[in-house]
Chain A
């Protein structure tokens, strides 16, 4: 690994100035599960690592009546251990339980997963399904971005020079809301998604009609893909396998994957439909309050 300076600011302002001092050879560090691995491989030309985990705002989970805010550096383990998050956002736990193994979850954060901006990131389709807002700080002050607009290319995102992610805000789910994230991997753990699918629905009070829906895919485009047309097609439709199949086909059409060592174009197109449909089923079951643990387990290979 190349020689580095390490700084651990105690608040957002200190972090802003540390990053400003380091310029484009400084990089923020959260869980480090991507960053340190890349440093080990010698892939990054960096001089300074700015560890954000001493900043209380980035390490906090706070719940208000409108939203849940998770600091960008909060580890998956911390999220998984938070009972109120588990209860209110079961779909979020789908992702935080899937990122790496247990020991990766001890460090990896949603903010890091997002800022690494891999097209295959396991949290991002889920964040899109949850309509998350990204709160960013930087030398020019603070700003917010919808999560579906955050990533711009593989490994690239909207963060400008000296900017970093502070927190992710999840709007409080409306009544009859359900969401789910599924991915397909060859093993049952410790893999990069061949395809990932996040879905959320809001059902009518009788829980037989889909009022609105959001569908998002991972690993089928240069960035995690918000498939708005799939959600739009579901809005106002009755809950039925046919409806879901239509959305699944739209997701498949939207997918524009490449063939690489982890998957082929036909396989990824096909899985886009399969996983969308399966994720929607679970989201609907959750919205209806039906148990889905068994199916979830099987689909995620935890069965």
Chain B
């Protein structure tokens, strides 16, 4: 079996050290080594967005990052979106708008939407659809997801 290496990182705001094999993706390390199951694998090659996380504040597919790459960097996953025990406004609005059906894509959508609103606090419907085009949802037809994001954006504006 391959040798493991230690990786030091800031995970959801906490200094963290974990062991991984270099061939493990960040997604695998998060789920299997660190017990953070909120990031989901829908495709394993960057085409569905269910594993999206923020790496140094930038939206990435965690299935396309090798775990050792996050040495010294900061990672925020769906588990780090709520703050001080309060749901993030996006999480709250996704619930109110029934923006999830099966829910498997939801963590990825919330992480992506947070990245969008960090980048552009008042996006248009088109901006939302373009930004979220890398996140596939098969249940909702996106309507209620886009409405939830726009609702939060308007609330912030």
Contacts and interface: CB of A to CB of B under 8 A. Distances in A.
A–B contact at 8 Å CB threshold (below)? yes
A103 B24 CA distance: 19
Given A33-B64, A36-B65, A302-B130, A77 B58 contact: yes
Interface string B127-157: 0001111110000000000000000000000
A1 B23 CA distance: 6
Given A1-B23, A189-B133, A106 B44 contact: no
Interface in A252-266: none
A4 B112 contact: no
Contact of A102 (B25, B63, B134): B134
A49 B69 CA distance: 11
Given A103-B59, A106-B60, A8 B130 contact: no
A77 B71 CA distance: 20
Interface string A75-108: 1010000000000000000000000111110110
A159 B24 CA distance: 28
A104 B47 CA distance: 9
Interface string A17-60: 00000000000010111001101110000000101010000000
Interface residues of B, number: 36
A104 B62 CA distance: 10
Contacts of A53: 69
Contact of B69 (A39, A41, A51, A190): A51
A49 B66 contact: yes
A182 to B, nearest CB: 16
Interface of A: 1-6, 8, 29, 31-33, 36-37, 39-41, 49, 51, 53, 75, 77, 100-104, 106-107, 188-190, 297, 302
Interface of B: 1-2, 5, 21-25, 44-47, 49, 52, 55, 58-61, 63-66, 68-69, 71, 112, 115-116, 126, 130-135
27 contacts: A1-B24, A3-B1, A6-B66, A6-B68, A8-B69, A32-B65, A32-B66, A33-B64, A37-B46, A37-B64, A40-B44, A40-B63, A49-B22, A53-B69, A100-B46, A101-B49, A101-B134, A102-B59, A102-B116, A102-B132, A104-B134, A106-B55, A107-B64, A189-B130, A190-B47, A190-B134, A297-B126
